[in-house]
């Protein structure tokens, strides 16, 4: 009998597999990481930097964009200057600008110092071009600027040499005039321009829960109340339909969905106060925060013979529990062409087969979802996929046999049927000992 220790070792082995899978996947890729100003000044910041060191040593190219809002507020307050904002944009006059610049570089320096303590080579630079926001709706934004571009060539060189570039929230016009820019916008634009694999927004209490929000009808996955994933287009509509989002939440959702729709593979929102938040998000499948993805991430594709070991791994718990009939490598070698797999981040997380009987009937078989990915809608997606396939092939009746999962299939429209309703060939191979129930979905 497996002991608690055996279980712990097994869990660790599973975790190590997962970590290596992701570590290999991300080597040489670029991550742009925006860190909220509260977090940069927090006592836990060194532990975040330690985790960034791990990413850096794993061969990931990191660009850091620290927010300086808190520090700027402190400095302006100290010198008796007003603090004026419109949404997430600070409106700053000529008198405040030298202090803002000083505070922004002060924060960048603090980040550089922390990186140095982790033996990571880092650089602060003037790689950002900016232009004035100007006057909008009668409001003069004065020295607040928009990101006009980043020096991609130079950043590429800095990254290739193994440095971590740090971008303070200051940009310069073509004539050298400095502007205060939003670190959120800077991170998102840099991620797009630098073709980053991932863009992170890390803050001290950032969490998107399902409760209290209007969720778009599709493309949203929720686990234990947390929105774990949203399709980029769903994230855009989430930002527009939820007027209870605060300015920061709205802005990062808007920028994040834009970045995801413009080439950034994934955008992640994380509560940086959770120990190891960024490592959990990068190296484990379900992560810790909320992720924006494009359709490409969750993929259903026909199974290939090299998927056999992974498919058997996904099925194994259901086979051991007697829910699925025994399947081995020989069976899979004969049948894999009838299967489709659901792949997330390069690993198989679900499988299902459609086995034709004559031209009118087909059986849904071998449906299984990785237990760590249960209740995320993967089962439903695989079934919808095969419903479409069946439709395209003019199949009239989908059927399946199950001993324990009847409720699930009934909930999605299957109805219980009798043995006589199956095609004769399948009636002949029905195993009466197993006493499976028969379900049919007329199409
Ligand atoms: C059945 C199975 C494929 C569902 O996959 P899934 O991706 O977790 O399911 P979805 O997320 O698409 O659907 C979830 C909903 O289906 C229902 N559901 C899931 N599993 C169920 C089950 N075993 N019995 C009854 N209802 C079930 C629940 O209502 C659930 O809603 P919830 O998330 O709000 O609780 C998965 O649980 C599995 O692999 N089971 C073991 C193998 C099996 O039974 N295969 C079918 C044999 S033919």
pLDDT band with cut points at 50, 70 and 90 for residue 295: low
Is residue 297 very low, low, confident or very high in pLDDT (cuts 50, 70, 90)? very low
407: which residues sit within 8 A by CB, 6+ positions away? none
What pLDDT, on a 0 to 100 scale, did the predictor assign at position 2?
A: 61
β-pair type (226-231, 220-223): antiparallel
Ligand 1 centroid to Cα of residue 398, in Å, is 18
At 1 the pLDDT is 58
**What span, in angstroms and rounded, lies between the C-alpha atoms of 131 and 174?**
8
Instruction: Give the angle subtended at the CA of 260 by the CAs of 257 and 263, to the nearest 5°.
Output: 150
> From the CA of 408, how far away is ligand 1's center (Å)?
6
Q: How far apart are the first and last CA of the chain?
A: 46
What's the 200 CA to ligand 1 centre distance in angstroms? 32
**Range of 5-9, 217-221, 225-229 with top mean pLDDT:** 225-229
Q: Which helix (H) or strand (E) holds 33?
A: strand 30-35
CA of 346 to the centre of ligand 1 (A): 22
Contact 188, 173 (CB under 8 A): no
- Per-residue pLDDT reduced to its tens digit, 94-143: 999 999 999 999 999 999 999 999 899 999 999 999 999 989 888 899 99
Best probe residue, ligand 1, of 311, 362, 379, 401 (max atoms within 8 Å of C-beta): 379
For the question of whether the overall pTM of this predicted structure is more than 0.75, the answer is no
Pocket test for ligand 1, best of 405, 413, 440 (most atoms within 8 A of CB): 405
Average pLDDT of the chain, as a whole number: 91
Interval 312-323 mean pLDDT: 95
Q: Whose CA is nearest to atom 29 of ligand 1?
A: 408
302 or 24, higher pLDDT: 302
pLDDT greater than 80 at residue 12: no
Q: CA torsion angle for 382, 384, 387, 389 (degrees, to 10)?
A: -70
Ligand 1: centre distance to CA 374 (Å): 7
User: What is the rounded distance in angstroms from the CA atom of residue 370 to the CA atom of residue 261?
Assistant: 28
378 vs 376: CA distance, rounded Å? 6
On whether the CB atoms of residues 336 and 366 are closer than 8 A, the answer is: no
Which residue bears the tokens 């800077």?
A: 186
List residues near ligand 1 (CB under 6 A). 318, 323-324, 367-369, 374-380, 400, 402, 405, 407-408, 411
pLDDT tens per residue, range 233-292: 889 999 999 999 999 999 999 999 999 999 998 999 999 999 889 988 887 777 889 999
> Above 80 in pLDDT, residue 219?
no
Residue 66's pLDDT band (cuts 50, 70, 90): very high
pLDDT at 352 over 80: yes
CA atoms within 13 A on the CB side of 230: 30
pLDDT confidence of residue 296:
45
Closest ligand 1 atom to Cα of 366: 48
Which runs of consecutive H residues, i.e. helices, occur in 178-221? 183-193
Least Cα distance to 16 among 263, 284, 275 occurs for 284
Give the nearest ligand 1 atom to 371 CA: 39
């Amino acid at each position: 009998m497996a002991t608690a220790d055996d279980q712990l070792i097994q869990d660790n082995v599973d975790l190590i597999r997962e970590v290596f899978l992701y570590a290999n996947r991300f080597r040489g890729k670029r991550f742009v990481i925006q860190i909220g100003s509260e977090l940069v000044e927090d006592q836990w910041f060194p532990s975040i930097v330690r985790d960034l060191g791990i990413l850096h040593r794993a061969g990931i190219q990191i660009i850091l964009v620290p927010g300086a809002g808190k520090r700027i507020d402190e400095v302006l307050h100290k010198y008796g200057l007003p603090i004026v904002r419109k949404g997430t944009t600070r409106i700053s006059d000529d008198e405040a600008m030298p202090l803002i610049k000083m505070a922004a570089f002060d924060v960048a320096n603090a980040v550089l110092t922390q990186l140095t303590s982790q033996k990571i080579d880092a650089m602060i630079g003037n790689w950002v071009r900016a232009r004035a926001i100007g006057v909008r709706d009668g409001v003069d934004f004065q020295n607040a600027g928009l990101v006009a571009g980043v020096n991609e060539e130079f950043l590429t060189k800095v990254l290739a040499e193994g440095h971590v570039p740090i971008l303070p929230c200051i940009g310069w016009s073509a004539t050298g005039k400095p502007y205060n820019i939003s670190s959120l916008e800077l991170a998102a634009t840099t991620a797009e321009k630098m073709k980053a694999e991932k863009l992170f927004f890390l803050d001290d209490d950032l969490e998107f829960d399902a409760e209290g929000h209007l969720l778009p009808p599709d493309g949203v996955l929720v686990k234990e109340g947390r929105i774990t994933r949203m399709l980029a287009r769903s994230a855009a509509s989430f930002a527009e339909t939820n007027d209870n989002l605060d300015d920061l939440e709205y802005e990062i959702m808007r920028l994040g969905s834009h970045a995801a729709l413009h080439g950034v593979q994934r955008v992640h929102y994380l509560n940086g106060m959770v120990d190891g938040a960024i490592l959990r998000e990068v190296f484990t499948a379900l992560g810790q925060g909320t992720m924006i993805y494009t359709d490409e991430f969750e993929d259903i594709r026909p199974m290939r013979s090299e998927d056999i070991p992974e498919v058997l791994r996904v099925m194994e718990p259901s086979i051991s529990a007697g829910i699925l009939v025994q399947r081995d490598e020989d069976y899979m070698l004969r049948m894999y062409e009838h299967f489709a797999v659901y792949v997330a981040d390069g690993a198989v997380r679900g499988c299902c087969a459609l086995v034709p009987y004559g031209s009118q009937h087909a059986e849904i078989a071998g449906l299984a979802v990785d237990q760590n990915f249960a209740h995320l809608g993967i089962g439903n997606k695989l079934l919808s996929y095969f419903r479409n396939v069946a439709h395209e092939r003019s199949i009239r009746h989908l059927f399946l046999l199950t001993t324990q999962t009847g409720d699930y299939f009934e909930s999605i429209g299957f109805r219980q049927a009798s043995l006589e309703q199956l095609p004769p060939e399948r009636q002949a191979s029905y195993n009466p000992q197993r006493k499976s129930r028969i379900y049919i979905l007329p199409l």
